[in-house]
Amino acid sequence: MKVWGKTADGVGVPIYTLTSAQVEVRVTAFGARLVSVRTADRNGKMADIVLGYDSLDGYLTDTPHLGSVVGRYGNRIALGKFSIDGKPYQIPINNGANALHGGPVGFDMHVYQAHEVKDGVEFTRVSPDGEMGFPGTMTDKVKYTLEGNVLRIDYYATTDKPTVVNLTNHAYFNLHGNDVGNVLGMKLEINADRYTPVDAGLIPTGELAPVAGTPLDFRKPEVIGARINDTHEQIKLGGGYDHNFVLNGQAGTLRLAAIVTDPESGRKMTVETTEPGVQFYTGNFLDGTVTGRHGVKYEKHAALCLETQHFPDSPNHPDFPSTVLRPGATFHSTTTFAFSATK
């Protein structure tokens, strides 16, 4: 651990480096962020495959949520409105007419407490009752551990009033290296027969639609860029891929979510999760205005996100898996990222 820098109000922010024989990971207490992941290609050459900034200063003004844990509610809530037990709540809108990633000042803009654990570090933060309109004092913990080639993230949350919670990591991955090209030539497999179609505001319609016969069918490996400009309505609405996939298998059990492979470098990333869904996002809103490491400007499709999660706008869709957390209960989810290289 070392102090990486300070926030505008003078709070020191630590950064931690986790290492194994295969992988080096850096995480910071600011937004409980994944700062970097260094892993080898088929020839043993190491590269950082996560988009980020050279210093803490970049994260202090970050808008694409690079590497952050987003919350209290990751993804979108329609009009920023929801009700629990008949009581209405309003979250400040910050994405068109909707609330995104917990509102204008989400969890990614706060400093967590940190302590080292076996093979990693655990970040803890108390979100006060009423923060960004959410009810209840909620304590959340994010634990990163690295064993061999597997990075594991465990999320925990408790509350003193009924609330909603959807925690995920918003890392942007580019298996070429964080400063090289785009992800359009990579291959992706998603373990999902269905997805949640969206409207023009990228809010789910409530339908669980089959991926079969659509450009959202990744049940076998497909080149990401092959259909990204398809005329299918959902691709046009998302400006590419920005959709939640309904993962096969039993939510609550650790199972395959997605596999990304880069034919050029040989790098491969396998994602498993206990969550019911994964948001596949192809960096459609990156436009060259964000300058990352080494002065590289992050252009559209410079990276992809695989945000394991409950479904967007779940509080307004009773048929979706519930995101309500009540006093006495503990929210817990696990996501793992396994890194390897193919010959």
> Which residues are tagged catalytic?
170, 307
Cβ-defined contacts of 202-209 (< 8 Å, 24+) = 202/76, 202/98, 202/237, 202/238, 202/242, 202/312, 203/76, 203/78, 203/98, 203/312, 203/313, 204/244, 204/311, 204/312, 204/313, 204/317, 204/320, 206/317, 206/319, 206/320, 208/246
Report DSSP letters for 195-253, one per residue.
EE-B-TTS-B-S--EE-TTSTT--SS-EEGGGSTT---HHHHHHTS-EEEEEESS-TTS
Residue 58: which residues within 8 A CB-CB, separation 6 or more? 52, 291, 292
Q: Token pair for residue 54?
A: 């050279």
Bond from prior residue into 219 cis (ω within 30 degrees of 0):
no
Distance CA 263, CA 172 (A): 18
β pairing state of 331-341 and 267-273: antiparallel
Distance CA 21, CA 75 (A): 34
